[in-house]
Amino acid sequence: MALLDPTIPAALVTGVLALTPGPSAAQLTRTVAASSASTATAVDEVAIRRCANVERGRRGLPALKADPSLSRAARLQAKGMAKRGYTGHRDPQGRGPAERVSRYTHRYQGVGENLAWGWPTGADACATWLASAPHRRNLLDRRFTHIGTGVAAGGRWGRYYVQVFGIQRAIAR
């Protein structure tokens, strides 16, 4: 009796021990599949941040610093689009990027957002942004100093990608 689905690559189940009593093969398979999906999402989040910084570097611009608050806002948007079936900068309640960011931080005086959906990887989504003048403008805007990224799977288009850019407020002295 196999304890794991033989179609799951062994690299994904490293460290999993089957002890009795324990989870069924189906439970283990679901756990490994969920872990694999969250790993793919994390990889894509890094890819769309890295892509922005590589392109900025090519143009002599400083790298964007990762900000967890901006990433929370980006993930909220990505998950909302996947779950609720909309594709736009405003959610069904009319909230835009600035409102989403303000749920998590007030460090930014301005924000920008790039959205993509339906692409198989974050690298594909980023290549599309770079080929689009308005999206490329966001990626290369000198005023933006920070970035957050979010990716969600599901919904009509399969994968949703979000970059949120922040212009940090001046610190009063």
**Angstrom distance (rounded) from CA 44 to CA 161:** 8
Instruction: Please enumerate in sequence order all residues whose Cβ is within 8 A of that of 55, keeping only pairs 6 or more positions apart, or say none.
Output: 130, 136, 139, 140
Given this model, what pLDDT does residue 25 score?
47
pLDDT of residue 60: 97
Dihedral sign, CA of 42, 148, 165, 97? positive
Q: Which residues are CB-contacts of 43 (< 8 A; sequence separation ≥ 6)? A: 122
47-100 pLDDT, tens digit each: 999 999 999 999 999 999 999 999 999 999 999 999 999 999 999 999 999 999
- With 0-12 / 13-18 / 19 or more C-beta atoms within 10 angstroms meaning exposed / middle / buried, residue 98 is middle
User: What's the pLDDT score for residue 173?
Assistant: 58
Structure tokens at 162: 């979000």
Whether residue 6 is preceded by a cis peptide bond, meaning omega within 30 degrees of 0, is: no
Taking residues 10-33, report their average pLDDT: 38
> Per-residue pLDDT tens for 113-172?
999 999 999 999 999 999 999 999 999 999 999 999 999 999 999 999 999 999 998 875
